[in-house]
Amino acid sequence: MIAQETSVDAAPAVAAVVVLAAGQGTRMRSSTPKVLHALGGRSLLGHVLAAAEPLGAATTVVVVGSGRDQVEAHLADVAPDALAVVQEQQLGSGHAAGVALAAVPELEGAVLVVNGDSPLLTTRTLGTLVAAHAAAGSVFTVLTAEVDDPTGLGRIIRDERGAPVAIVEERDASDAQRAIREVNAGVYVANAATLRRVLAGLGTSNAQGEQYLTDALAPLVAGGAPTAAVRADDPDDVLGCNDRAELAARRRTLNDRVLDELMRGGVTVVDPQTTWVDVTCTVGEDALLEPGTQLRGTTTVGPAAVVGPDSTLVDCSVAAGASVVRSHCLGAEVGPEATVGPFSYLRPGTRLARGAKVGAFVETKNVEVGEDSKVPHLSYVGDATIGRGANIGAATVFVNYDGVAKHHTTVGDQVRIGSDTMLVAPVTVGDGAYTAAGSVITSDVPPGAMAVARAPQRNVGGWVRRRRPGTPAADAAEAAESRAEALSGGRADASGADTDQ
């Protein structure tokens, strides 16, 4: 195991984190604000907030603007303590940072300012930046990265001694500046008072006519203030996300990181290309993820469990040694050694105890299946409690809905539900009881009873010969009758009166 997020306890604290998330994100071409687009189990914004969270800042400010209602609602979900500050007009990243600082006028000390669209940032990288800022006695420190393709990004201009002197946006850069491959990550640590002062003086004489946060550096350098630029170890950390192609690329990188960590932790991932695991999931040692597996949300997979191929688990728990094969599962708990699939659909509230089985083409919802009980084939099981060691025959339906309300079914220990039973809720089948195949059970079955609830069988003799003469069925029936007659020496009455059973 490697420690993915190292502790940053030793690093000097930042007083506040400011996330810039007001931009429209035009290039996403979406009615959803850019920062709410999701990858790996969180929104873009959620990833940034999660990376900054361990820094322990007392104040988190998120600048919202475009789609602000949606962004504010999302914040209430993922970061209820964050302060949403509205930037009415998107006049640039420098203006956005100024709006944020104006909302917390009492704030002093170091502030981390970060673009809301950099989902690969890690706590480690942010912690390194904060520590370097303090160590250098800097008032403004920018995170940079050396990238292969700097297209679209701000370039870091250094002087002959290597000190950073300016950040130049691509649109405003000369050809020589465009050749520089060290870029601005859009992550800065600044002294709050200094930043307020310099932001207040920002102009808009650039290609976009905006107040660029990046323009804060040059005047500070010119005024002799101590500044710094820190290169990220992993250039992937700083990659932003401006359109759907970049979103897909970031998702892939994030997923690779998650799978690498799982594999180092003893998980077998058969096909990393088709296996997708959210950053919010955990998987135990010796678990096996087959191709086409997706683990999402709060899903946990226990040691030596098997998931896949082709399975999606959202907010599920799969205990040690269990298996889930070719299935779609939402909010379900799969107990130790339990088996699911192939082709099962587990819906919220499904809880399978140790050794339980839910088999092919079975849908379950809000149901407890007791230890070693089995629902092997083609059934719907909703709103039910099933005891231990029970067997639910093929094509059983728990008829839970009367058109208005849902009702509960209780099935006791060691029950045998015959194939094609309709259990019309509310109903209870007592311990050790049986139901006959094809029964429609509308009243309780006492323990140990055999419930038979179906019309008795009637055979209408000779019907096919009379009503379907000349058909292959009639020919086959006649042949059978002749054979039976020959065998019994002509005594058989194959024309048959009706018989009841």
* Residues contributing to the site for ligand UD1 (CB under 6 A): 20-23, 63, 65, 87, 90-93, 95-96, 115-117, 153-154, 167, 169, 183-186, 212-214, 240, 242
d(CA 20, CA 22): 6
What are the residue ranges of helices labelled H in 323-462? none
* Min separation Cβ 22 and Ca ion, Å: 12
Helix axes 93-103, 192-200, angle to 10 degrees: 130
Q: Residue 468, annotated ligand binder?
A: no
Asked whether residue 357 is marked as a ligand-binding residue, the answer is: no
Q: How far is the CB of 167 from ligand UD1 (least distance, A)?
A: 6
**Active-site position among 74, 95, 377, 408:** 377
Q: Is 434 within any annotated ligand binding site?
A: no
Q: Does 33 bind Ca ion (CB under 5 A)?
A: no
CB of 183 to Ca ion, least distance (A): 11
**Residue 154 makes contact with Ca ion by CB under 5 A:** no
Q: Is the Cβ of residue 35 or residue 258 nearer to Ca ion in the bound state?
A: 35
**Residue 419 annotated as lining a ligand binding site:** yes
Which listed option, ligand UD1, Ca ion, none, makes contact with residue 390 (CB within 5 to 8 Å by class)?
Answer: none
- For tokens 């839910």, name the residue: 358
C-alpha–C-alpha distance, residues 369 and 386, integer Å? 5
SS3 121: coil
Shortest Å distance, C-beta 255 to ligand UD1: 21
* Backbone torsions φ then ψ of 242, nearest 5 degrees: -110, -20
Is 335 labelled as part of a ligand binding site?
no
Q: Residue 494 gets which letter from DSSP? A: T
What string of H, E and C letters represents the secondary structure of 246-280? Answer: HHHHHHHHHHHHHHHHHHHCCCEECCHHHCEECCC
Give Cα 232 to chain centroid, integer Å: 28
Share of the chain residues as helix, strand and coil, in percent rounded to the nearest 5: 25, 30, 45
Cβ closest to Ca ion, residue 117 vs residue 383: 117
Cα(500)–Cα(497) distance, rounded to whole angstroms?
10
> In this complex, which beta carbon is closest to ligand UD1, that of residue 40 or of residue 119?
119
| Amino acid at site 373 | S
Q: Is 240 in the site for Ca ion (CB under 5 A)?
A: yes
Q: Which is nearer to Ca ion, 117 or 236 (CB)?
A: 117
Q: Could you tell me the smallest distance in angstroms from the CB atom of residue 243 to ligand UD1?
A: 11
Q: Cβ-closest residue to ligand UD1? A: 154
Mind giving me the DSSP string for 124-141? HHHHHHHHHHHHTT-SEE
150 binds Ca ion (CB under 5 A): no
Consult the annotation and say whether 117 binds a ligand.
yes
Residues 147, 170: Cα–Cα separation, whole Å: 14
- Partners of 352 in beta bridges: 334, 369
Does residue 206 have a known ligand-binding role? no
Residues 102-121 that bind Ca ion (CB under 5 A): 117
Does residue 359 bind Ca ion (CB under 5 A)?
no
- Asked if residues 20 and 113 have their Cβ atoms less than 8 Å apart, the reply is yes
**How many Å apart are CA 1 and CA 261, to the nearest integer?**
7
CB of 80 to Ca ion, least distance (A): 26
User: In this complex, which beta carbon is closest to ligand UD1, that of residue 21 or of residue 287?
Assistant: 21
Q: Does 308 contact Ca ion by CB under 5 A?
A: no
Q: Of the candidates 370, 268, 351, 279, which has an alpha carbon nearest to the alpha carbon of residue 309?
A: 268
Q: Which is nearer to Ca ion, 117 or 371 (CB)?
A: 117
Tell me if residue 377 is catalytic. yes
Interface contacts to Ca ion, rule CB under 5 A: 117, 240
List the binding residues: 20-23, 34, 87, 117, 154, 169, 184, 242, 347, 365, 380, 391, 394, 400-401, 419, 437, 454
List the binding residues for UDP-N-acetyl-alpha-D-glucosamine: 20-23, 34, 87, 154, 169, 184, 242, 347, 365, 380, 391
Active site residues: 377
